[in-house]
Structure 1
Amino acid sequence: MRNSLFTALIIISVCFQVFSQEEPEYESNKIQDFKLVPLPAIAYNPANGWMFGVAPAATWYMGNPENTKLSNLVGNLLYTTKRQWIFSSRSNIFLDQNSLILIGDWRYFITSQPTFGLGSNTPNEFEVNPNSSLSPSYWGDQQMDFRLFRFYETVLKRVSDTNFYLGFGYHLDIHSKIDNFLDVDMIPDYEFSHDAYNEALGFNLDRYTLSGFTINGVYENRDNSVSPYEKNFALVSYKVNPTFLGSDQSSSTLLLDYRHYINLSEKRKRHLLALWAYGNFLVSGNLPYMNLPSLGWDMFGRTGRGYAQGRFRGENMLYSEAEYRFPLQKNSNLFGGTVFVNANSFGSKFDSEKLLEHINLGYGVGLRVMINEENRTTISADYAFGREGNSGFYLNINESF
């Protein structure tokens, strides 16, 4: 499920440049200098079991590289030993001279995942929730089966010759065939976290839709969006989910994302400090349970190394991360390493918890293997630890942020 959760990719071939041009003559808004990393994949995590399939990554240019940024796409087609299917395609496409940015996030999951309730103080183990203002309910590990169809597409227009972009997006999430289950007997009249929340706010228990549009402002100043070495990136996205577009209830949210890359060596650009700040807030109305801000549900599933996807959830979310990246060889960029630390906090009025009342830390180390130095396509392997025994191994394409 989570692209970055307990994943192990096995590279069967070194022919990662399936399509390429040695000396391309660049045309406006045509796919050129296309390179594909075909990664047959084997993956594992406790929620999904063993996963088998392909996880391709592609890069290309839509114009001259001297004035056009690198476009990229990461995909997944996986089947699991728990009879789950996971399909996804996530892309950032820069048109000629960076005149437009097209951002896509398409997914279809037939899958399962544990949920732990709302807020930052939820326990690992299943137990009665003593803090909920909802009907008597549980928190801690509660397994859920569900299907997710997601279609997100955003178009951003460059403002003059600057690195600022403004644009609109359409975002559709349909959760269906939702089912909670446990291997233990439940106390009569006590409910799962998901059901207690949705019943209290008038949402369906087994299917709901969130359909809305976003107004977006972006500052894209990174030297490379795949694996940046320097400069910065910022996003402000205000989302409105009206009922006339298909949402079960009207709501609005605000997403803030800022990333900064501080180069520590002019001779070795791979030697750097990367910083990330991320916030997701419910501004008005109500969201269905699975659409609430949650750890690991950012576009590429990279928040919260040290915890499982969905481990923490609430109406409001704050997240930050710092990562030190460095080369491991004196005269080669093939191998690199990282050390990192992150922190998250969630607020929920239903559990009387405010943002920053509880903070969950994560930390870990990682190895990087650069399989295409020209485009900086990288395989990343990380092991991270969280609080109260949470931990995980993550193997991915490209840097975490």
Structure 2
Amino acid sequence: MKKIYIISLMLLCLTGRDYLLAQSDTTQAQNQKMIQEFSFVPLPVLAANPAVGFMFGVAPSASWLMGSEQTTHRSSAVSTVLYTTKSQFMVFIKSNIFLKDDSWNLMGDWRYFVFSQPTYGLGTGSQSAKLASNGFEYDDGSYSKGIKEAQMIEFNYFRFYESALKRIGDTRFFTGIGYHLDHHSKIKDKLLDLDTVPPVITSHYAYSLDNGFDTDGYTLSGVSVNGLYDSRDNPINPYSGRYAFISFHINPEFLGSDKNSTTLWVEYRDYFSMSKTRPRNLLGLWLFGNFVTSGELPYLDLPAIGWDQFGRSGRAYAQGRFRGENLTYAELEYRFPLQKDKDKFGAVIFANASTASNKEANIDLFENIDPAAGVGLRFMIDKKARTNITLDYGWGKYGAQGFYLNVNETF
């Protein structure tokens, strides 16, 4: 029965999306104009890190107009197909679509992963306190059986998020609903060992048992009520404007969730000009909070850095490095051109901070804050769309550091 509900809701989202898109294609002239404004970047990917080994694939992105550029914001979509030497496979498509005259804003996030990554327990701050609360023995800097703070976990993951927001009159306010599905399967805790005395328990295993979730897999399925204010001049690479988004998720068992729960996402972005003559010289601010407001979520669905729609939060740290029942995040980025009269090359300096809670270890939100900072280069490949290829390097606590190659700005 759960599968029937989930499949029906997915089909409704997809057919509704097609209907809205069809309604926007009113004339042949508009279609031709949209084609002329289409921009496509077939970015190849070749990288390496200890968690995944060597990775290779493609990360194409596109931007286009669904109406007049005077009344319609640019739509964008980024996608990735990656394979790694550790037999990981990742596919995702993430989209932000504005229909003619910005009458509707459609937001999509579709993913399929055959994946593995380390987890680090819940909360921010002292790793020994977090892990000891979840069954680890801590003695002179070493956990039982030599386990450090990283706990490798393998899983298959399918995500289907789709939201449709209707513009309210001539304002920049939008409101609407969405459907959201997260399904984890074939979960394997690589460090779990129940046959030793005492047994070696991972954070994922302990949390799942304490909160009544199957340790092998689980489903989170629900609907959302959303409100959005977006006055940015260009969502791909803003020079001015503000963005505020609030989303309340309701995840009932009758829609397929393993347990009833509700969550709240609040987000704010702002852009402050640092030069009247060079709009690319600016200071960007990004804030968000993700909170479990009732019930319990499965471990891998708890709020975590790097799991926002475009996966850009927490530069310097691994995806999911900080996770908890509640999480807040802040980032400040200074963006500036490197050429006196041109915008082809640019650079950024950024700093971010994360804080997450852990009820079992009595770690409250804002009790511990983990910061990071870094620098980056920008290469503008489409001046009209302001499409940038971005290369960033960040440094954080606990020896964390990372290199990031993307298309479009982080926020």
* TM-score for both structures, normalised by structure 2: 0.87
1:32 to partner: Cα distance: 5.4
Gap runs ≥5 in structure 2? 1-27, 138-142
User: Does the CA contact (< 8 Å) of 2:131 and 2:149 recur in 1?
Assistant: no
Q: Counterparts of 1:216 and 1:342 in 2: how far apart (Å)?
A: 26
2:217 matches 1:213: no
User: Does the CA contact (< 8 Å) of 2:280 and 2:336 recur in 1?
Assistant: yes
Q: Residue 13 of structure 1 aligns with which residue? A: none
Q: Counterparts of 2:342 and 2:327 in 1: how far apart (Å)?
A: 39
- CA change 1:187–1:120 in 2 (3 A) is farther
After TM superposition, the structure 1 stretch with the greater mean CA deviation from structure 2, 344-353 or 86-95, is: 344-353
User: Does the CA contact (< 8 Å) of 2:76 and 2:95 recur in 1?
Assistant: yes
Q: Residue 18 of structure 1 aligns with which residue? A: none
2:272 matches 1:268: no
Q: Counterparts of 1:300 and 1:130 in 2: how far apart (Å)?
A: 29
| AA aligned opposite 2:337 | P
Q: Counterparts of 1:220 and 1:130 in 2: how far apart (Å)?
A: 41
- CA change 1:273–1:186 in 2 (3 A) is farther
User: Does the CA contact (< 8 Å) of 2:121 and 2:131 recur in 1?
Assistant: no
1:18-97 matches, within 5 Å, as 25-27=29-31, 33-97=37-101
1:198-347 matches, within 5 Å, as 198-347=208-357
1:350 to partner: Cα distance: 1.3
Q: Counterparts of 1:171 and 1:253 in 2: how far apart (Å)?
A: 12
Find the residue that maps to 1:148 and give its secondary structure: strand
| AA aligned opposite 1:155 | A
Q: Identify which of structures 1 and 2 has the higher relative contact order when contacts are C-alpha pairs closer than 8 Å and 6+ apart.
A: 1
- CA change 1:307–1:253 in 2 (3 A) is same
Q: Any runs of at least 4 consecutive aligned residues in structure 1 with deviations exceeding 4 A, and if so which?
A: 27-32, 127-131, 134-139, 183-187
Q: Residue 151 of structure 1 aligns with which residue? A: 160
Find the residue that maps to 1:389 and give its secondary structure: coil
1:117-136 matches, within 5 Å, as 117-123=121-127, 131-132=132-133
| AA aligned opposite 2:77 | L
Q: Residue 409 of structure 2 aligns with which residue? A: 399
Q: 1:170 aligns with which of 171, 175, 179?
A: 179
Q: Residue 112 of structure 1 aligns with which residue? A: 116
Q: Counterparts of 2:211 and 2:123 in 1: how far apart (Å)?
A: 17
Q: Residue 388 of structure 1 aligns with which residue? A: 398
Q: Counterparts of 1:135 and 1:398 in 2: how far apart (Å)?
A: 42
| AA aligned opposite 2:174 | Y
2:370 matches 1:360: yes
- CA change 1:46–1:391 in 2 (3 A) is same
Find the residue that maps to 2:321 and give its secondary structure: coil
| AA aligned opposite 1:312 | F
| AA aligned opposite 1:358 | N
Find the residue that maps to 1:237 and give its secondary structure: strand
After TM superposition, the structure 1 stretch with the greater mean CA deviation from structure 2, 198-207 or 36-45, is: 36-45
Higher helix share: 2
Gap runs ≥5 in structure 1? 1-23
2:104 matches 1:100: yes
Q: Residue 7 of structure 1 aligns with which residue? A: none
1:36 to partner: Cα distance: 0.8
1:140-199 Cα shifts (integer Å, max 9, x gaps): 100011010000000000000100000000000000000011399965333110000001
* TM-score for both structures, normalised by structure 1: 0.89
**Identity of counterpart residues, as a percentage?**
51
1:129 to partner: Cα distance: 5.4
| AA aligned opposite 1:117 | G
Find the residue that maps to 2:360 and give its secondary structure: helix
User: Does the CA contact (< 8 Å) of 1:103 and 1:155 recur in 2?
Assistant: yes
1:355-395 Cα shifts (integer Å, max 9, x gaps): 11100010011111101111011011111110121111111
User: Does the CA contact (< 8 Å) of 1:131 and 1:352 recur in 2?
Assistant: no
